[in-house]
Structure 1
């Protein structure tokens, strides 16, 4: 199931963040590390959503949550396969939340989606890339009426930042909620070692 949130609605980030927490708790295995994978390129306005989110969220991450993809080191079509292989070597079966820009219906521009299962990056511009993620978040940045990569080049930067700001707030809500719910377990483990 895919849930839609309007990035212009001030209540949407908190609602999305709480739902993300619930979905992660239902699916995550004990001791599984969380990787937030922000996909996109800093060289295309419409595809820059992921790196901008990674850049804005980098300083808010709690222990046990990791972030890949930002403006300095974007994860994009050319290095996504390598990044997935590196994650598999670095982490033992990580729980991946994949984030990317997407194209959609004209009246869905500015919407954020949250769904179960893998993200299918590049679908809107007819690129064949590996599916990735246990959960996925997308921001609908432009219309898919012609399904061309030029659509991403003509996307307004203001819509990218509007969606990015809302998703970062949702991730911060998730980050805080998830960490608070893990604290009793962490404090129990610390008391056992002292």
Structure 2
């Protein structure tokens, strides 16, 4: 497949991220699978189950691992979070294409959408933690509105929203690459 993966999607482009609905995720992952074999893709699902809003990554990772995907980092049983992110990234075999998955806070018009990019994401950006950029590609799920108290906002984010978005994302990956 030639050209930029993201620019080939038929969605509005703003900066380096595309705002996608759950239904548009399929096209993103289908294009990714056409460009790279699933055997060369590593899904890095970032977050923790200790914060409702931040549990999206481990929920997605758990679903992917249970579906039979072999290259998944970050599950409910073995999360990839601020305490171990650098160590987990260092263990990724050379030659793997990484797809970072994380929850984020955003503008009210983006809540419930996914921000897909052919760029890395910066985990914990909304709460001001300096962590390394992750992924050649990334999906950030906008689970709530960004505001003056991002840590508190993540703690009180609706579990229903997070679980629905995690299901949409995991289902799109599973449909597209398996």
TM-score between both structures, scaled by the size of structure 1: 0.77
Residue of 19, 24, 28 corresponding to 1:19: 28
Please provide the CA RMSD for this pair: 1.9
Q: Is 1:48 aligned to 2:55, yes or no?
A: yes
Q: Is the 8 A contact 1:46 1:101 kept in 2?
A: yes
Which ranges of structure 1 fall in alignment gaps of 5 or more residues?
Answer: 177-194
Q: Is the 8 A contact 2:61 2:72 kept in 1?
A: yes
Residue of 130, 135, 143 corresponding to 2:137: 135
Which ranges of structure 2 fall in alignment gaps of 5 or more residues?
Answer: 1-15
Query: Residues 67 and 144 (structure 1 numbering): CA distance in 2 closer, same or farther, change over 3 Å?
Result: same
Q: Is 1:70 aligned to 2:85, yes or no?
A: no
Report the counterpart of residue 192 of structure 1 in structure 2.
none
Question: How many residues are matched?
Answer: 163
Q: Is 1:98 aligned to 2:92, yes or no?
A: no
Residue of 17, 20, 23 corresponding to 1:2: 17
Runs of 4+ more than 6 Å apart: none
Q: Is the 8 A contact 1:118 1:136 kept in 2?
A: yes
Q: Is the 8 A contact 2:105 2:150 kept in 1?
A: no
Q: Is the 8 A contact 2:33 2:177 kept in 1?
A: no
Distance in 2 (CA, whole Å) between partners of 1:143 and 1:18 is 26
Report the counterpart of residue 165 of structure 2 in structure 1.
163
How big is each residue's C-alpha offset from its partner over 1:49-100, in whole Å with a ceiling of 9 and x where there is no partner?
00011112212235xx51111000000011001111122xxx1221101100
Distance in 2 (CA, whole Å) between partners of 1:86 and 1:130 is 14
Q: Is the 8 A contact 1:104 1:142 kept in 2?
A: yes
